[in-house]
Structure 1
Amino acid sequence: MKKLFLLFIFCMFAATGMDAAQRVGGYTKRNGTHVMSHHRSYKDSSRFNNYSTKGNRNPYTGKRGSKSPYKTKSYRTKRG
Structure 2
Amino acid sequence: MRMMKALTVAAALACVASGALADQYVRGYTRQNGTYVQPHMRTSPNGNPFDNYSTRGNVNPYTGQAGTHNPYAVPSAPSVPYVGVPSVRTPQAPCYGYGCR
TM-score using structure 2 length: 0.56
Answer 1 or 2: higher relative contact order, Cα 8 Å, separation at least 6.
1
Residue identity opposite 1:45 in structure 2: G
RMSD: 2.5
Q: 1:6-65, CA deviations, whole angstroms, 9 ceiling, x for partnerless residues?
A: 546534432443353111111112222211110111112211111111111111111111
Q: How does 1:1-80 map to 2 (within 5 A)?
A: 7=7, 10-19=10-19, 20=21, 21-72=23-74
Q: 1:73 to 1:23 in 2, by over 3 A?
A: closer
* Deviation beyond 6 Å, 4+ runs, structure 1: none
In structure 1, what is the Cα distance between the partners aligned to 2:75 and 2:40? 30
Q: 1:45 to 1:8 in 2, by over 3 A?
A: same
| Structure exhibiting the larger radius of gyration computed from Cα positions | 2
Aligned length: 74
- Segments of 5+ residues of structure 1 without an aligned counterpart are 75-80
Sequence identity (%): 41
Q: 1:70 to 1:16 in 2, by over 3 A?
A: same
